[in-house]
Amino acid sequence: MTAPGPAPRRSLRRSVELLAAFRTEQADPDGFYGMLSADAVALLGTRVPLAGSRALDVGGGAGYLTAALRSAGARCVLVDADAGELAWRGAPSPCSVLADGTRLPVPDGAADLVVSSNVLEHVATPFALLDEMARVLRPGGHLWLSFTTWLGPWGGHETSPWHLLGGERACRRYERRTGRPPKNRYGESLFPLHVGPFLRRLARTPALELLDARPRYLPAGTGPLVHVPVLRELCTWNLEVLARRRG
Ligand SMILES: C[S@@+](CC[C@H](N)C(=O)[O-])C[C@H]1O[C@@H](n2cnc3c(N)ncnc32)[C@H](O)[C@@H]1O
């Protein structure tokens, strides 16, 4: 029998390693996304039962998070709206479905767990996606999601930090300098999403009870940051939320 490893912690060292890994995203996407997903699932597993759960990975792309959830024993179905993303690593992950997350082909209350990592900021109607994810959860089921905040250092993705001077302008600058448009195009596949409005909308969503909201990549102890107006938009970087479906 394998001895259990140390309990995952949101240490300073973890934060440094995660943020440093962003530099290798283009050169080593397997290493980068594999590391992010393993980290997310290890931490999630300390809060939510994963083994045997019926999980849905919305906007799962090439399937890194799905693979990590399956390693933890979850029965995970992946949904993504882009066939190219699904096949990005070769054959799509088994049990992948091509569908829009705002219209999930899933009955009400069918999932124990819905996860969505770094997807909401790519959706023009993020709150429609939030409501749809709540719809497919069973009462007591959990929603785990994260998104990159627009006013944070990585809000514009590859056009950062110039997005802070305007998303369209940042896209034009990127294209001028690289000779190609950015993958994440402002107003088409990347939309400003903010901590305050998101948390207020979640609080007004009767189906969901907020359990936790914190900066995903920052160390333990930085959680209260997400309650400080203005500062939370600039420093959260990536908002991680855990919520429960009300009965
Ligand atoms: C930045 S990628 C994140 C992929 C994956 N969740 C991860 O963290 O590795 C964003 C993903 O969201 C998907 N996406 C965007 N809009 C979507 C929608 N309306 N419904 C489902 N998936 C969507 C994209 O196709 C893409 O695969």
> Ligand 1 center to residue 37 CA distance, Å?
14
1 — pLDDT class (breaks 50, 70, 90): very low
DSSP per-residue string spanning 49-114: --TT-EEEEET-TTSHHHHHHHHTT-EEEEEES-HHHHTTTSSPPSSEEE--GGG-SS-TT-EEEE
Q: Is the pLDDT of residue 3 over 80?
A: no
Q: What domains can be seen in the chain, in order of their start residue?
A: 12-149+193-245 (3.40.50.150)
Q: Please write the tens of the pLDDT for every residue from 87-108.
A: 988 887 889 999 999 999 999 9
User: What would the two tokens of residue 87 be?
Assistant: 């096949």
> Ligand 1 center to residue 5 CA distance, Å?
31
Is the CB of 59 inside a 6 Å radius of any atom of ligand 1? yes
Owner of token pair 């394998």: 2
Single out the residue of 3, 39, 46 nearest to residue 21, CA to CA.
39
% residues pLDDT > 90 (the chain): 87
State CA 98 to chain mean position distance.
18
Distance linking the first and last C-alpha atoms of the chain? 38
Is the CB of 238 inside a 6 Å radius of any atom of ligand 1? no
Question: 3-state DSSP call for residue 27?
Answer: coil
Is the CB of 157 inside a 6 Å radius of any atom of ligand 1? no
Name the closest-CA residue to atom 8, ligand 1: 117
Single out the residue of 57, 42, 82 nearest to residue 146, CA to CA.
57
Is the CB of 117 inside a 6 Å radius of any atom of ligand 1? yes
Name the closest-CA residue to atom 4, ligand 1: 61
- Name the helix (H) or strand (E) containing 1: none
Q: Is the pLDDT of residue 7 over 50?
A: yes
Name the closest-CA residue to atom 25, ligand 1: 82
Single out the residue of 165, 154, 164, 152 nearest to residue 196, CA to CA.
152
Residue 18 main-chain phi, psi, to 5 deg: -65, -45
Name the closest-CA residue to atom 14, ligand 1: 59
Q: Please write the tens of the pLDDT for every residue from 139-150.
A: 999 999 999 999
pLDDT of 15? 96
Single out the residue of 45, 242, 44 nearest to residue 143, CA to CA.
242
